[in-house]
Amino acid sequence: MSAAPALFTLTGNLLWERTLEFDAWTPGKTQRARTESFQVGGKGINVSKMLNRLGTANTALCFTGGATGTGCIDWLRAHGFTHETFSTREATRLGVVIRAPGQRETTFLGTDTPPDAQAMRHCAEFLEARLTAGSALALCGSFPGWDTPAAKTLRETLDRLIPQTTICADTYGPLLTWLVERPVALVKINRDEFDLLFTAVERDRPLLDRLTEARKRWAVRSWIITDGPREVTFTTADTRPASLTPPVVEEVSATGSGDVLFASVLHALLIKRLALADAVAFALPFASANAASAGIADFDLNNFSSKRSFQLHE
């Protein structure tokens, strides 16, 4: 059996995040939480957390700055994450999650903090040295500053690495626009982000037509398009689009469910060596179980439904 690939996740927009839980809360009043907790957020960290739950060795890469960045490093170390951080001048952004029984979860995020040029150069040097033909990189979440001169070295490094290694992405904004022009192994995005790749007129066309068009227009080798609790549609360069319906659950918090899906797909593709359709089928129950849980990748791995429906589109 061949060795598992070295797997890295890269979070371009790390989050120092505190969760406050209330009996009830209303805007415009002083609120006193009954419990609070701290965690590090950002899509790549969520993906690494789920990979850890699945027993898949990985290294979480991220940019950290200021006191909030130091707090994130301490948390990653305390929770057993294998990680590499690249120091940047600006403080890591902060966020607050508000929860109360019977009320919709609300998240407040601080301003995005683009890594500085030196941090991105250090990241590029790390990838150049560590990302080989037998390894894989997952680009996760937004990447502030991607289209600025500060990211030039990192862009050039990834341009060299993409043809010779496995690059997968769950991203949006300028990084997504840049990636779809390149032969990355997989792009997993939600329906809204996929729609934004097309003109306003083109968005009126059915999803399946646009997914077929995406295979012709862009260099991406495989696509996964999610749509909340609705069916997930996917395709490769040489297979017809297909869709799977996630298991139906009573939603507690959908936060991080896309990250759990992405991590589970990566595990299925890279470790279990499954085809894309089987990888999506493997991943969907995990994503649904996450939506039925308050945390991210904190659910019981042995307590979820595996029922789902499969449809191959002609």
10 pLDDT tier (thresholds 50, 70, 90) = very high
Domain interval for residue 173 = 6-12+42-81+115-312
Residue 19 falls within a domain, yes or no? no
Q: Residues 267-307: pLDDT tens digits? A: 999 999 999 999 999 999 999 999 888 888 888 877 555 54
Q: What is the pLDDT of residue 314?
A: 39
Q: How many CA atoms lie within 13 A of 183 on its CB side?
A: 7
Contact 140, 42 (CB under 8 A): yes
Query: Are the C-beta atoms of 182 and 153 separated by less than 8 Å?
Result: no
Note whether residue 68 is domain-resident: yes
pLDDT digits (tens, 9 = 90+) for 137-184: 999 999 999 999 999 999 999 999 999 999 999 999 999 999 999 999
Residue 165 forms part of a structural domain: yes
Residue 293 placed within a domain: yes
pLDDT tens by residue, 107-119:
999 999 899 999 9
pTM, to two decimals: 0.91
pLDDT of residue 313: 46
- Domain-embedded: residue 56: yes
Q: Is residue 292 part of a domain?
A: yes
CATH of the domain at 137: 3.40.1190.20
Place 2 in a pLDDT band, splitting at 50, 70 and 90: low
Domain contains 131: yes
Which residues lie across from 16 on neighbouring strands?
A: 40, 94
Predicted confidence (pLDDT) per residue in 249-277, tens digit? 888 888 889 999 999 999 999 999 999 99
- 63 within some domain: yes
Q: pLDDT exceeding 90 applies to what percent of the chain?
A: 78
Q: Whole-angstrom Cα distance, residue 35 to residue 49? A: 23
For 223-237, the pLDDT digits (tens) are: 999 998 999 999 998
Ramachandran angles phi, psi of 260, nearest 5°? -65, -40
Apex CA 20: angle with CA 15 and CA 26, to 5°?
115
> How many structural domains compose the chain?
1
